[in-house]
Structure 1
Amino acid sequence: MGKHGAGFSLVELMVVVAIVGLLSAFVYPVYSDSVTRANRSQIVVLLWEQSQSLERFFSKNGVYRGAENLSVGNKHYWVTHALGDHDFLLTATRREGASMVDDACGNFTLAHTGVMAITQAAPDLTEQQCWGH
């Protein structure tokens, strides 16, 4: 009885492992960056929605203070609200232990004037890069 191709040779297996390794080296960073940008987009949208809700409240009541049903954030960011009579500041702070805790964009703030800012961000990043504008 002769040998029949009953399996893979070590060389064939090593070629497959090398190909998978190379693909992983290129694909994972792209995937990871996409997830990070999506998480940033979620908090930016949430802050803008909160801002619009506060503006509607202000239109009805003449003050921001007392607005209710404001979001406290999502699984990546805490959102806090500093509400005055004629101004507000929304702050999205990265949650400890969440996947965004080491994000280079840091934390986000949005004021009643529409001014967007980032705090604790990498020095080479701008608000436009992090807010997606």
Structure 2
Amino acid sequence: MPVHDVARGARDRARAHAGFTLIELMIAVAIVGVLAAIAYPAYEDSVRKGRRAQAKADLVELAQRAERFYTLNNTYAGFWASVPAGDKRSPRAGQAFYLLERTSGDADANAFSLSATPTGTQTADSGCGTLSINQAGARSISGSMEPARCW
């Protein structure tokens, strides 16, 4: 076997084990950066939608509790005072992203209006804003989106 063939074989094996070049590494970093720039805002939007869904569920549950209160007492007056403080936020445990409140006075005997106001990082969900529901089941929002997209 000639000497130059042995040297060429050693060079080929050295190139095969050389690893990444700087250009290849920069291309990989650029691709990861573009994917992250696209994926992170979509992820944040999905998280905000999940928190909004929890607030909607909590509002509907409170509305049902108000109806049960009305069935037993023939009035909505005093309902909000009977709600434990921990149930006036969403979610009930951990960091609150919505504050739940009765927007009509607690002395109102024939009607109620409940709302979920975003707080903290959830205020970035400005398209929906504050979610509201009343004794008739009418749902509304304070944001610029159409209510059907938020509810």
The answer, yes or no, to whether TM exceeds 0.5 is yes
Cα distance, 1:7 vs structure 2: 4.2
Structure with a larger share of its residues in strand: 1
Which of 79, 82, 85 is the equivalent residue of 2:100?
79
Pair 1:65–1:56, CA change in 2 (3 A): same
Q: TM-score, normalised by structure 1?
A: 0.85
| CA shift digits 1:20-78 (9 cap, x unpaired) | 01211222222122111111111111100000011011111111111212521121111
Percent of aligned positions with the same letter in both sequences?
34
d(CA) in 1 for partners of 2:51, 2:77: 29
Secondary structure (helix, strand or coil) at the match of 1:80 reads: strand
> Which runs of structure 1 show a deviation greater than 3 angstroms over 4 or more consecutive aligned residues?
1-7
Structure with a larger share of its residues in helix: 2
Residues 12-21 or 1-10, more deviating: 1-10
User: Unaligned regions of 5+ residues in structure 1, if any?
Assistant: none
How many residues of Structure 1 are paired with residues of Structure 2 in the alignment? 126
Q: Which amino acid aligns with 2:116?
A: A
Match of 1:107 in 2: 130
Pair 1:51–1:73, CA change in 2 (3 A): same
User: Unaligned regions of 5+ residues in structure 2, if any?
Assistant: 1-9, 91-95
Radius of gyration: which is bigger?
2
Match of 1:117 in 2: 140
Q: TM-score, normalised by structure 2?
A: 0.75
Q: Which amino acid aligns with 2:146?
A: T
